Structure 1
């Protein structure tokens, strides 16, 4: 920590003190530090492992784009670390969703959806700028937008199913290839990458995004799917009231239609959303299924929080209705019968903030107790 303080202070030509560890991750250390003038800054230092270096480059390039996130006060590519403006101790969207005020939670969700949509729309013509900034801070790793992670997840799914002794339906590999990047070539936009509830601050000045470790350009549908699933790759996953899920999806869509007019067509929008749901369901299955031997909570400390089995079953139920991909849908039904059928877990509950309001079940629930 002392070496981080010295490097950050040298970068700012100012003395920093009183570091408070804000949690960070396995890839980074995040500190709130006091300045000699009585203010504070955020220092984020990264390790030297490949994913840490990718995270540094993405954060430095993504924030330096200047269209979202805290202001960058300095970047040291050698440590590597960034110094950013301190956005304060505002509650996060996760705090609102896990709280008891439905009005605060709903307004937070709408601010989040509109904010991400506005960011996507504003970024459409800035892709070359991000590439230039990536080159400036490059540590030898490709961005997630350039990484073929979706194709790799598809390959991993086939291997995972084979290892589990599940005979996949004919045509699954071809369908996964057809799902592709869910419109990443036709409808790309910038995203901080990890747009989960705990990375969205609800400040007095509005929504502020933090954590740009996976910043890249990807399909707008991969971001929009977070409204419907909800929160496709996150720990703060509960069922949303149906009308709120539809409202926030429309809020995001209304922003991106301005730059991609074709998305006003329901046929185009719904097809892209279904592809994105498939992509994120494959991702969740590959990442989480091997870790469901013990049904542990998705987050080590936050409560309430669902378990991996609860979330996977919810994802598989939704994906089992994607009948334009019949082999994929049947694979999801196989997982529900042959894997989840043996899990004695409760259904995914609704977000605490919305109490007993009817949650979104726009997909048909699948009977996992009978074959066929």
Structure 2
């Protein structure tokens, strides 16, 4: 990371000092800003606390979302179907951190929110330090598989941390909604789903036009029923909203989740399913073995067992996980199968240059395995047909079904 000396960076630091002064009633001096990156309209800085009459950590993190008048909503905002993605994203993130602050430390999913200003779209957070991201730690080998014991331990740790967060927040959507209202926001505490459902409904036409694969009516009907999980209320808990390899960090104190721009409440199984399909919004492939997937499910289930004992029934959980996996694979297809040169450029900049169709082929292969395992042979057959079509249109080495 490089030190920033630009006027804009120093302006953010001065704004953070004023927010801290308003929050704590004292003067805090922040120096030595470093650029930690950020995406889209966000600027993220690490600063040193050089003078403070109150006890603060030696370093803090400042995140400010720039105003984006006239700018289009970012990608995930478009996927979720919200208009001013930057404005809603900031409010959701601020409220998500406030909500997380109310949890016991061991259940808190990410850094602590120290102060914020809604009008300036500015957050001041505790600093987790220079810790590796999930992407840094979990790297598939030359066979495309992530098979080492250390990798498996990290995967189980992520699933366990998700389960711990879900168990601690189950049934607390009204608390989240109250915080939204305090922030003068009229948005729902639930993660938006209408546009995602519409994207799922468009996949059969996309498969037909791009790959020449027909989707039988019974499969379309089944997936429409599976899509109910996007708005399901049986197993709702807090979710960061957009899990990805670069916003999960692996530290000595445990797994932490960053970036809550689309935080809210949804069916907790969707979070677990999104990792099992290798983060559907990314061109990424974890190369999970069936054993690793099973270990992750077991680690997650152990944490939520007392809250949702129904999910101790293998048939109940397997069916719900199949619904989550199916919805994510179909959504990923809607997002990645059409040619999108801007998305590809962003993926390359993020260090994830995997061809979208290779990532999709892996996801459809995983869906085949999951459907076949529970005896849903029609869904498995359709998944295999899509995977074969993707393989034939991709120049990368062929994938084989087990």
For the criterion TM > 0.5, the same-fold answer is yes
Q: Would the alpha carbon gap of residues 4 and 295 (structure 1) be closer, same or farther in structure 2, given more than 3 Å must change?
A: closer
Q: Is the 8 A contact 1:144 1:216 kept in 2?
A: yes
2:356 is the counterpart of 1:342 = no
Q: Which residue of the partner structure matches residue 4 of structure 1?
A: 12
CA distance, structure 1, for counterparts of residue 209 and residue 41 of structure 2: 30
Task: Give the counterpart of 2:127 among 46, 61, 86.
Answer: 86
Residues 175-204 of structure 1: CA distance to partner in whole angstroms, max 9, x if unpaired?
Answer: 222112337321111111223332222222
CA distance, structure 1, for counterparts of residue 37 and residue 202 of structure 2: 31
Q: Is the 8 A contact 2:42 2:65 kept in 1?
A: yes
Q: Would the alpha carbon gap of residues 325 and 238 (structure 1) be closer, same or farther in structure 2, given more than 3 Å must change?
A: same
Alignment partner of 2:315: what SS?
Answer: helix
2:187 is the counterpart of 1:177 = no
After TM superposition, the score normalised by the length of structure 1 is 0.83
Q: Which has the higher helix share?
A: 2
Q: Is the 8 A contact 2:361 2:391 kept in 1?
A: yes
Q: Which residue of the partner structure matches residue 307 of structure 2?
A: 259
Task: Give the counterpart of 2:88 among 42, 54, 60.
Answer: 54
2:292 is the counterpart of 1:244 = yes
Q: Which residue of the partner structure matches residue 130 of structure 1?
A: 176
Give, in angstroms, the shift of residue 59 of structure 1. 1.1
Q: Which moved more, 1:31-40 or 1:214-223?
A: 31-40
Give, in angstroms, the shift of residue 305 of structure 1. 5.2
Q: Would the alpha carbon gap of residues 122 and 20 (structure 1) be closer, same or farther in structure 2, given more than 3 Å must change?
A: same
Q: Which moved more, 1:336-345 or 1:138-147?
A: 138-147
After TM superposition, the score normalised by the length of structure 2 is 0.77
Give, in angstroms, the shift of residue 294 of structure 1. 11
Q: Is the 8 A contact 2:13 2:30 kept in 1?
A: yes
Q: Is the 8 A contact 1:181 1:279 kept in 2?
A: no
Give, in angstroms, the shift of residue 254 of structure 1. 1.2
CA distance, structure 2, for counterparts of residue 97 and residue 235 of structure 1: 15
Q: Which moved more, 1:272-281 or 1:37-46?
A: 37-46
CA distance, structure 2, for counterparts of residue 110 and residue 277 of structure 1: 18
Give, in angstroms, the shift of residue 266 of structure 1. 0.7
Task: Give the counterpart of 1:15 among 29, 50, 58.
Answer: 29
Correspondence list, 1:156-305, <5 A: 156-161=202-207, 163-164=209-210, 166-182=213-229, 184-291=232-339, 299-301=347-349, 303=351
Give, in angstroms, the shift of residue 28 of structure 1. 2.0
Give, in angstroms, the shift of residue 27 of structure 1. 4.1
Q: Is the 8 A contact 1:181 1:219 kept in 2?
A: no
Give, in angstroms, the shift of residue 261 of structure 1. 0.6
Paired residues, number: 351
Structure 1 unaligned regions, length at least 5: 349-360, 366-372
Q: Is the 8 A contact 1:189 1:219 kept in 2?
A: yes
Give, in angstroms, the shift of residue 252 of structure 1. 0.4
Q: Would the alpha carbon gap of residues 96 and 88 (structure 1) be closer, same or farther in structure 2, given more than 3 Å must change?
A: same
Structure 2 unaligned regions, length at least 5: 1-7, 22-27, 53-57, 74-83, 142-146
Correspondence list, 1:21-32, <5 A: 21-32=35-46
Alignment partner of 1:114: what SS?
Answer: helix
Give, in angstroms, the shift of residue 97 of structure 1. 0.9
CA distance, structure 2, for counterparts of residue 294 and residue 84 of structure 1: 31
Q: Which residue of the partner structure matches residue 33 of structure 1?
A: 47
Alignment partner of 1:34: what SS?
Answer: strand
CA distance, structure 2, for counterparts of residue 99 and residue 294 of structure 1: 25
Q: Is the 8 A contact 1:224 1:253 kept in 2?
A: no
CA distance, structure 1, for counterparts of residue 384 and residue 139 of structure 2: 31
Q: Would the alpha carbon gap of residues 99 and 277 (structure 1) be closer, same or farther in structure 2, given more than 3 Å must change?
A: closer
Q: Would the alpha carbon gap of residues 272 and 71 (structure 1) be closer, same or farther in structure 2, given more than 3 Å must change?
A: same
Give, in angstroms, the shift of residue 295 of structure 1. 11
CA distance, structure 2, for counterparts of residue 204 and residue 337 of structure 1: 42
Q: Which residue of the partner structure matches residue 351 of structure 1?
A: none
Give, in angstroms, the shift of residue 285 of structure 1. 0.3
Task: Give the counterpart of 1:319 among 367, 377, 389.
Answer: 367
CA distance, structure 2, for counterparts of residue 126 and residue 132 of structure 1: 10
Give, in angstroms, the shift of residue 219 of structure 1. 1.2
